[in-house]
Chain A
Amino acid sequence: MHKNKVTDWLVSRLHFIVQVLLSACDKNIIIIIFNREFCMWEYTDKVQQHFLNPKNVGEVEKASGTGDVGSLACGDALKLTLKINDDDIITEAKFKTFGCASAIASSSVLTEMVIGMSVDQAAQVTNEDIADALGGLPKEKMHCSVMGREALEAALADYRGLVLPMAEGEVVCECFGVTDLEVIRVIKESHLRSVEEITNFTKAGGGCGKCEDKLREILHTTVNSKTELPVFSSKPKRMTALQKIKKIEEVLERVIRPGLREDDGDIELIDVDGDFVTVSLRGACKSCHKSQTTIKEYVEKQLRELVLESLIVEEEN
């Protein structure tokens, strides 16, 4: 064999080789080697700094918004408390975290990031932003950054008096209580392409493994809805993207617009990406401070009922 071919072969088998090695060694007790350079998860300096000297530990008194995610059983949990002033600016953020080094570091860096942000700005923070702020996280630990974002979302929703849509999905992974909506969301946001990646980001599938087939199906369905991506042999979807868009347009026109027009408002469909529906409120609705409530409580509810249960409606930024 030519040398390059040997290398190619090795690389193509790398995953398998690693698995064989892993199963051969003491899976349940892995040694943490004493030198930092050789630490098993190869944490960045930034992660180590935030882990060893975390910022903003504790709970904000009389918090404006609290986000409580994760559980003891799952192995990590985060309680994020925010103080938000009258101008919708986050003036204080504190955390309490049970979890590994990257969970603690993600929480710590998150509090630093959001202090000084407006509520709207904070709502835009993604898990990738958190990981980037730490100089990256090992892929097995990406779920820690997702936990950070979830806690932030929960705290903001609490402040706004909203119910989080993610929790309303159907639970796919019973071991870690992950819903299909959460899975779909990370697939889209972080461009995931394998079940393993989904596990790294959400923990779904990391327990008994029974939901693996379901995760694969969700992955294929979600990826396929973006059309140009490689074709996987998956079950036919209940609705094609085009059918979905047409149906959404129809419901907007027939049901939703008349309701909004009564209040001198209007709505426009901007984009449909898989189950994510982006809309823009117009007229009186646009300046209405209750626009989020309108979108979630009215538009999304109607679309879910009349088009597809899994739809998530968001306002254009």
Chain B
Amino acid sequence: MATTNGKVVYMDNNATTQVAPEVIEAMMPYLTEAYGNPSSMHTFGGVVGDVIELSRRKVADLLGAEPEEVTFTSCGTESDSTAILSALRTYPEKRHVVTTRVEHPAVKSLCENLETVTGHKYKVTRLKVDSEGMLDLSEYEAALTDDTAIVSVMWANNETGVVYPVEEMARMARQRDILFHTDAVQAVGKIPMNLKELDIDFLSLSGHKLHAPKGVGVLYIKRGTLFVPFLTGGHQEIGRRGGTENVASIVALGRACELAGEKMDEENGRVKMLRDKLEKGLLSRVPRSMLNGHETSRLPNTANISFEYVEGEAILLHMNQYKICASSGSACTSGSLEPSHVLRAMGVPFTAAHGSIRFSLSVYNTEEEIDFVLEKMPAIIESLRKMSPFWKG
């Protein structure tokens, strides 16, 4: 029998990750003795200013970018809003935004607000996805117009892990002189990037998705891209983002990016292998289960699996009994009454959308944990199906 010695089996890394011990160690001095304000003239502040620049370089290295292209923010959501609103302010005569139907709420809600709050001053085109969650590039090409100010397409989807061809899409936007933003919160650290060679103008990342703490993010702004700040105030971040720097978290993010670079191969090797084992094991052991998302164009750590005729929250609470942590796209766990907009956009039938479970791994997961989950899941699903009026055995 597989055992985890009563420890928590954490497979919800697309929601947030454990802060790496190395990261905590790196940030600690800036929460204790090195409390200076980097804007101060004295050495005490100056030292702190230096570590921020060092951190900026580490982030830039992971992205294949220049340090001055990296602006620290408070989170991925702030980075997303900053990028899109900057583009609209840069080109006030342009009133059109292209995005997808499967964006994270950070972009999705902003786009909805652009339509409704402004009294439909802006028009938003939301690209469709197919049943595997993939975009149609000819639909994308047709959506680009002279009125389009910015395109915002996520690099990888948080729910299904589906990876989008943002390199190609950014190139197509550049040909039409349209700015391109990508929410790469899920992709950074899992997909190697070299932004120097790409036509991506803005990229958002979030610290807590790659083993740094919550409350720190980055907006990459390509050199030469016109920019209007979202938060104004002090001259921090060369005037691109006012507000005293979150020094400890910025240091933490730098260290986390360094580690992510080192572990990129492990992420795409060992973690991917564990994910594949989990996925294949569940699909073969549980009847009427299916994978949501593209089989290959996908993050190495994510498996979104639907168990038909049972409901996600009930599954999660049973998993909770074994201290297995994952999440669901079911209505009951969504904070609304409808299942995930991503699964609905993919046309996943209701029989399956309500019973979807997302397993998202990290380098901290072990093979024992995978075996443990594979052992527990079939019985959980079976017990709930016995109770379901729709399950015909």
Residues of chain A touching chain B, judged by Cβ–Cβ distance below 8 Å, are 22-24, 26-34, 36, 39-40, 51-52, 54, 57, 68, 72-73, 75-79, 96-101, 103-104, 175-176, 199, 203, 206-207
Contacts and interface: CB of A to CB of B under 8 A. Distances in A.
Given A97-B389, A101-B314, A32 B334 contact: no
B73 interface: no
B389 A32 contact: no
B387 A206 contact: no
Given A72-B354, A72-B390, A36 B314 contact: no
B311 A29 contact: no
A32 B316 contact: yes
Nearest to A36: B320
Given A34-B8, A96-B387, A29 B350 contact: no
Given A72-B351, A101-B313, A26 B104 contact: yes
Interface in B304-337: 309-314, 316-318, 320-321, 323, 325, 327-337
A27 B309 contact: no
A39 B320 contact: yes
B82 interface: no
Contacts of B382: none
Greatest chain A CB density within 10 A among B12, B105, B328 is at: B105
Contacts of B342: 28
Contact of B387 (A29, A36, A54, A175): A54
A99 B339 contact: no
A23 B341 CA distance: 14
Interface of B: 8, 12, 14-16, 75, 77, 104-106, 109, 158-159, 309-314, 316-318, 320-321, 323, 325, 327-342, 350-351, 354, 358, 386-390
A96 B389 contact: yes
Nearest to B318: A52
Contacts of A78: 389
B314 A29 contact: no
A67 B327 CA distance: 32
Q: When A and B form their complex, which 4 residue pairs have the shortest distance between CB atoms, in order from nearest?
A: A206-B337, A100-B332, A100-B313, A96-B389
B316 to A, nearest CB: 5
A154 B311 CA distance: 23
18 contacts: A27-B105, A28-B334, A28-B342, A29-B333, A29-B334, A31-B15, A31-B16, A32-B327, A33-B325, A72-B351, A72-B354, A75-B331, A96-B389, A97-B387, A97-B389, A99-B314, A100-B311, A100-B313
A205 to B, nearest CB: 9
Contacts, number: 126
A75 B351 CA distance: 9
Given A32-B327, A97-B387, A26 B15 contact: yes
Contacts of B159: 28-29
Given A26-B104, A98-B311, A75 B339 contact: yes
Nearest to B312: A100
A76 B317 contact: no
B389 A104 contact: no
A39 B390 contact: no
Given A52-B321, A175-B338, A176-B337, A29 B389 contact: no
A67 to B, nearest CB: 11
A98 B333 contact: no
Contacts of B335: 22, 27-28, 30
A31 B312 CA distance: 12
Contacts of A23: 105, 109
Contacts of B336: 27, 206
A139 to B, nearest CB: 13
A101 B327 contact: no
A29 B337 contact: no
A77 B337 contact: no
Nearest to B316: A32
A22 B336 CA distance: 11
A26 B310 CA distance: 23
A32 B158 contact: no
B388 A98 contact: yes
B186 to A, nearest CB: 11
B13 to A, nearest CB: 11
Contacts of A103: 311
Nearest to A107: B387
